[in-house]
């Protein structure tokens, strides 16, 4: 069996991977979208599928795409190439994502933030997205190398958001199984 290190930081404690089932707060179907148009959103879609989740991946989702969804996953990471291919600039992307979050809040749809690209997907533009959107999350799952500077830890602690760190992107699959309630 592959051993993995998964830590969940709560404002007052760290709990083990085995305790993730007690954090189940998300329901299916899930809408997966990007905040920054990086290729990491595609990886999130594959991991959700492997985890057996009912999910739709729409890279440039709008509020209408939330119509039948019970959870929203926002994959944070800016790619200038991805933004260009989507015909968006950074401000348009921020506006799109904020509209999606606002609609999700109106419908009581919980937000899961994912940062899968590790240190390579960090930088000034990604940090802007993290700072803008992470405070709205009910939980965050990040690859540990993307949190070397503690930005996710600080925001999650300040906002009382459970934070789950994994060593490698592929390790996100198992926690996804545990934080989502069975279909329905």
Which of 155, 127, 169 has its CA nearest to residue 39?
A: 169
| Region of poorest pLDDT, from 4-18, 98-112, 157-171 | 4-18
- Per-residue pLDDT, 182: 76
Question: Which tokens hold the place of 14?
Answer: 């760290």
- Per-residue pLDDT, 120: 80
Q: What's the whole-number average pLDDT of the chain?
A: 86
- Per-residue pLDDT, 59: 93
- The average pLDDT across 74-90 equals 88
Asked if the model's pLDDT at residue 8 lies above 80, the reply is no
- The average pLDDT across 81-99 equals 90
CATH class of 6-11+25-179: alpha beta
Asked if the model's pLDDT at residue 19 lies above 80, the reply is no
- Per-residue pLDDT, 163: 94
Which of 177, 94, 102, 157 has its CA nearest to residue 130?
A: 94
- Per-residue pLDDT, 111: 97
Per-residue pLDDT reduced to its tens digit, 146-163: 999 999 999 999 999 999
Query: From the CA atom positions of the chain, what is the Rg in Å?
Result: 15
> How far is residue 85's CA from residue 22's CA, in Å, rounded to a whole number?
40
Domain assignments of the chain as residue spans, ordered by start: 6-11+25-179
- Per-residue pLDDT, 86: 85
Q: Is the pTM of this model over 0.85?
A: yes
Which of 123, 125, 114 has its CA nearest to residue 73?
A: 114
């Amino acid at each position: 069996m592959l051993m993995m290190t998964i830590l969940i930081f709560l404002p007052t404690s760290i709990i083990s991977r085995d305790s993730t089932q007690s954090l189940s707060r998300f329901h299916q179907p899930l809408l997966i979208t990007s905040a920054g148009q990086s290729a990491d959103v595609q990886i999130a879609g594959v991991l959700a599928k492997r985890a057996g989740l009912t999910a739709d991946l729409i890279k440039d989702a709008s509020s209408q795409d939330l119509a039948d969804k019970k959870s929203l996953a926002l994959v944070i990471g800016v790619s200038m190439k991805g933004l260009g291919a989507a015909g968006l600039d950074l401000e348009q992307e921020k506006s799109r994502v904020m509209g999606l979050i606002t609609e999700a809040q109106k419908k009581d749809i919980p937000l899961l933030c994912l940062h899968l690209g590790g240190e390579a997907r960090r930088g000034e533009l990604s940090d802007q997205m993290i700072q803008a959107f992470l405070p709205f999350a009910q939980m965050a799952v990040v690859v540990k190398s993307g949190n070397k500077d503690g930005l996710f830890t600080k925001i999650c602690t300040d906002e009382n958001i459970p934070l789950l760190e994994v060593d490698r992107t592929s390790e996100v699959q198992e926690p996804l199984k545990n934080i989502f309630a069975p279909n329905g």
